[in-house]
A = this chain, B = another copy of it.
Amino acid sequence: MREITADNLAALAIGAGILGTGGGGNPRVGMLTALQHVKAGAPIRVVGIEEVGDDAFATSVGGMGAPVVSVERLPRGDEPLNALRALEHHLGRAFTHLIPGEIGGANSMRPLIVAAQTGLPVVDGDGMGRAFPELQMDTFTIYGVPPTPGAICDPRGHVAIFDGIAEAQTLERYARAVTIQMGGAAGYAFPPMDAEQLRRTTIPGTITLAQRIGEAVLGARNGRGNPIDAALAVSGGRRLFHGKITDVERRLEGGFARGIVVIAGADEDEGRTLHIDFQNENLIARDGQGAVLAVVPDLICIVDQDSAEPITTELLRYGLRVAVLAIPAPELLKTPEALAVVGPAAFGYPDVAYEPMDGVFGVGAHG
């Protein structure tokens, strides 16, 4: 067990942004909210998965909706808390632990805020090891945790509770339909998990991993090396490309931000181009001839070429000078069951085979 400090939060925001692979929303607003809680003396406790007792009863909390919405409409800050309370009311039982559904992006911070609001500890781990656009794309669901009961809540306190739904894709459809009607963004709480489910399905140590990536980047920015190399050293990734963004095509479809970004290479990549397709997150990176260089579930991260500051897809624009990093996916995302849900075919690329990268991501990183 450790308590999250103000410095931890600053580092975590950077690391979670990088692991967000362009999606999951910017962690910055959530980080500032969590920071207020820490400064006000509300402790945010993080516990390793191995510290969780047999009587644990946990749920993931966070936000759902297109990140582009949250840029224009700030959350109130208590949406996930209200979703948690609605779910507890429905279950007639209180939760003992929280866990991030996705460590990538803004959903890294929301469980920490709810932890400060409730006093509940947060499990060091998550269900994605990155960010994904849909609810069912997490290891909880992939490895058989029932998706409901679950609750969503909007900034006006409007609550929808879902129950009796066996397929996470169905919950995803229902909850997203309501989220769109709620204005495009909502807080959520689901799925409820007992200790066995939590231990079996969690990608361990990802809060600490995100924090370490951020610490490495911040350390390098303060003169101890190159921020991008520092991020790669901790995450086990490699530099895929660097250059200038020359085109961004984007459209909002069914609550998702979809599009393509084109990057013209610089320096050693001069004369080449990279095309990245995204659906909230970066999904597939191809060279000018269409050859696949990296593909989901491996992480494709666009960062500022100097500071390694992560750049979310909604902030991509002409002229940004960026580096593109590829980071191997955690092992729990590489099984056949997982690839059926988060592999290239699941995102509309049936002809692209997933070729895993080598790497150490997700192994023994929790502390």
Q: Size range of the interface on A?
A: 20 to 34
Could you tell me if A164 and B158 are in contact, using CB atoms closer than 8 angstroms?
yes
Main secondary structure of the interface of A (DSSP, over half): mixed
Instruction: For the complex of A and B, list the 8 residue pairs with the smallest distance between their C-beta atoms, beginning with the closest.
Output: A177-B177, A161-B161, A157-B164, A159-B163, A173-B181, A159-B164, A158-B165, A177-B181
Asked if A174 is at the interface of the complex by the 8 Å CB criterion, the answer is yes
A177 to B178, CA, bound (A): 6
A82 (CB) vs chain B CBs: closest residue: B164
| Count of this chain's copies in the oligomeric assembly | 2
A161 (CB) vs chain B CBs: closest residue: B161
Could you tell me if A174 and B162 are in contact, using CB atoms closer than 8 angstroms?
no
A163 to B174, CA, bound (A): 16
Taking the nearest CB of chain B, how far is it from the CB of A296, in angstroms? 25
Q: List the interface of chain A (C-beta within 8 A of B).
A: 86, 89-90, 153, 156-165, 170, 173-174, 177-178, 180-182
Q: Which residues of B contact A162 (CB under 8 A)?
A: 158-161
Residues A174 and B170 in contact in the complex (CB < 8 Å), given A160-B162, A163-B161:
no
Taking the nearest CB of chain B, how far is it from the CB of A192, in angstroms? 15
Could you tell me if B174 and A160 are in contact, using CB atoms closer than 8 angstroms?
yes
Most buried by B among A90, A162, A164: A164
A157 to B173, CA, bound (A): 16
Could you tell me if A158 and B177 are in contact, using CB atoms closer than 8 angstroms?
no
A218 to B72, CA, bound (A): 61
A138 to B164, CA, bound (A): 29
A214 to B161, CA, bound (A): 40
Could you tell me if B161 and A160 are in contact, using CB atoms closer than 8 angstroms?
yes
Q: Which residues of B contact A157 (CB under 8 A)?
A: 164
Q: Which residues of B contact A89 (CB under 8 A)?
A: 90
Taking the nearest CB of chain B, how far is it from the CB of A302, in angstroms? 33
Q: Which residues of B contact A159 (CB under 8 A)?
A: 161-165
Could you tell me if B182 and A174 are in contact, using CB atoms closer than 8 angstroms?
yes
Q: Which residues of B contact A174 (CB under 8 A)?
A: 158, 160, 178, 181-182
Q: Which residues of B contact A86 (CB under 8 A)?
A: 163
